[in-house]
Structure 1
Amino acid sequence: MMTLPKGRVDSTRKKMISILLIDDQAAFRDGLQNLLNFYNSTGGENFQVVGRAASVEQALKLSKEQHPALVLLDLGLGQEDGIDFLTRYSDKQPQGKVLVLSGQRDDEWVFKAMQAGARGFVFKQSLSKQLSEAIQTVMNEQIYLTPELLTGFFRHFHFHAGRSLKVSSSLHLTDRELEVLACLVKGDSNAVISQRLHITVGTVKAYLRCIFEKMGVDSRTQAALKALKLGLV
């Protein structure tokens, strides 16, 4: 192992990401913290657990005290509902990021979590393979959903098609703007959107400006989250 000279700092070390763990099972919280520590020791990550909670109220208290950059949340908190935490946390700290970890393989759970403000969703069974990538994706202001989850997620949205049409009509979004918005929600870059829709990158940017103005948002992430909450895509 390479030893750094005294006084030197490892420049490959990534910026520290403070994390709050929320799960009602102490054994799972221990395992999750061990996994984060493993990533730190082997991959140049810099995850720091600043709090651990087993209930909604405890989690809200710790999040207010510690202001974590990221919350890892289990939706099943004993007799409590993680969606309750998500809703209350998103209202009080709209800039905070929440990544849901769940054993529930149900499209509706994913749908409800994203509506309530989650930035991503990972099945507990896939944590060891996906957690690091999911965290980095969310911290880079993108939404993390695997193709499997994304398929089920949009399948669930079909049941809200009527509401979607009504909302998009009230916002005066054109069909083309809805297509661009759908690509944005998938995490596509401007270049990828231009290729998918056969338009120039400049045209994509123009559409995005119109979309942001009509939706009353200032960023891609805000637009994507609002689109998910309103069922626009």
Structure 2
Amino acid sequence: MIQVILADDEAMIRAGVRAILAKAPDIEVVAEASDGNEAVAAVRRHQPDVALLDIQMPRLDGIAAAAQIRRETSGTAVIMLTTFGEDDFIAGALQEGASGFLLKAGDPRELIAGVHAVAAGGAYLSQKVAARVVAGLRMGRAAGTSRYPIEQLTEREHEVLALLGTGLSNVEIAARLHLVEGTVKAHVSAILGKLGVRNRVEAAIAAHEAGLTGRST
């Protein structure tokens, strides 16, 4: 069972997210919080697999709460819940090690898929969030250019990056490509190094920017 804590200062949002997650038989919301401080306390108490955090909350916002959670525990993955117009906050959440970004008004199936992905060790970006992040990265650059040296990757690393960008964990990528998990780990490490990114979420953004996530592998 995947245990989740849910933090949002709007009770109606929490109720809606909880109702969506209740449709997944393997996901359980073990606690709710209305601000970042309560979220951090809930993580300490329950040690959940996933913390769903609203980016903007009173007292302690979602980004600061994510930073504190990541400092205190390595076992809880963080997904940020965002709305349109919060692109500037996404960059800050990336720096604090968030593993996923979902729109509050997005497809309910993405919410469940995102929780499954980060709980399994993957990274998950809502398609609309990914599109906005990529668009922001492209501003000020010449058309067709990328800040990521995708051309340095081998053919196999391209395949791994494409699947990583869709939110798959190392185990799932290994199964899809008929590899052992250790080999996938080595590929992911090589990809992070070659692209100059710090984590799977940034690698997923690189995959989206390069158009790799639209390919079937």
Q: TM-score, normalised by structure 1?
A: 0.62
1:7-86 matches, cutoff 5 A: 16-37=1-22, 39-40=23-24, 45-78=25-58, 80-86=60-66
Question: Cα distance 1:176–1:184, how it changes in 2: closer, same or farther (>3 A)?
Answer: farther
Q: Does 1:149 align with 2:125?
A: no
Question: Cα distance 1:36–1:226, how it changes in 2: closer, same or farther (>3 A)?
Answer: closer
Q: Which ranges of structure 2 fall in alignment gaps of 5 or more residues?
A: 178-182, 210-217
8 A Cα contact 1:22 1:54, kept in partner: yes
Of 72, 82, 86, 1:102 maps to 82
Question: Cα distance 1:210–1:25, how it changes in 2: closer, same or farther (>3 A)?
Answer: closer
Report the AA paired with residue 28 of structure 1: I
Report the AA paired with residue 141 of structure 1: G
Aligned partner of 1:121 in structure 2 is 101
Distance 1:91 1:112 in 2: 15
Q: TM-score, normalised by structure 2?
A: 0.66
Of 221, 224, 228, 2:200 maps to 224
Q: Secondary structure at the match of 2:105?
A: helix
8 A Cα contact 2:6 2:31, kept in partner: yes
Q: Which ranges of structure 1 fall in alignment gaps of 5 or more residues?
A: 1-15, 194-203, 216-221
Distance 1:50 1:191 in 2: 31
Distance 2:71 2:16 in 1: 30
Total equivalences in the alignment: 187
Report the AA paired with residue 187 of structure 2: L
Question: Cα distance 1:36–1:156, how it changes in 2: closer, same or farther (>3 A)?
Answer: same
8 A Cα contact 1:56 1:82, kept in partner: yes
Question: Cα distance 1:49–1:88, how it changes in 2: closer, same or farther (>3 A)?
Answer: same
Name the Cα RMSD after superposition.
3.9
Report the AA paired with residue 72 of structure 2: K
8 A Cα contact 1:114 1:228, kept in partner: no
Aligned partner of 1:135 in structure 2 is 115
1:168-179 matches, cutoff 5 A: 176-177=152-153
Q: Secondary structure at the match of 1:125?
A: coil
Q: Secondary structure at the match of 1:121?
A: strand
1:152-167 matches, cutoff 5 A: 152-158=132-138
Question: Cα distance 1:186–1:46, how it changes in 2: closer, same or farther (>3 A)?
Answer: closer
User: Displacement, 1:77?
Assistant: 0.7
Distance 2:30 2:90 in 1: 26
